[in-house]
Amino acid sequence: MVRMQIQFSEEQTRLLRAQAAQAHVSVSEIVRRAVTQWAAGRLDLPAGERRRRAIKAAGRFASGLNDVAAKHDDYLADAYRS
């Protein structure tokens, strides 16, 4: 293994320690698992397959609103206020 020094915020440190305690492993093991999971998600699918899936997902969800293209900024602002 390669030793690395990284810095986390106080909140990240609290979350990492809590997860490590719950799983009965070290914080380093939690970080290794997270990196492995992240890398698997990025590398499992070729770019073409990710693109195909994104195109297939486009338009599959309906908001029920007919003016989203024209009023998208208003809807976004409302969402951030909520």
Range with lowest mean pLDDT among 4-8, 30-34, 40-44: 40-44
pTM equals 0.52
36-79 residue pLDDT tens: 988 887 767 788 988 898 899 988 888 888 998 899 999 999 88
Q: Among 2, 54, 65, which residue's Cα sits nearest to residue 31? A: 2
Q: Which amino acid is located at 47 in the chain?
A: A
Give me the CATH topology for the region 1-45.
Arc Repressor Mutant (1.10.1220)
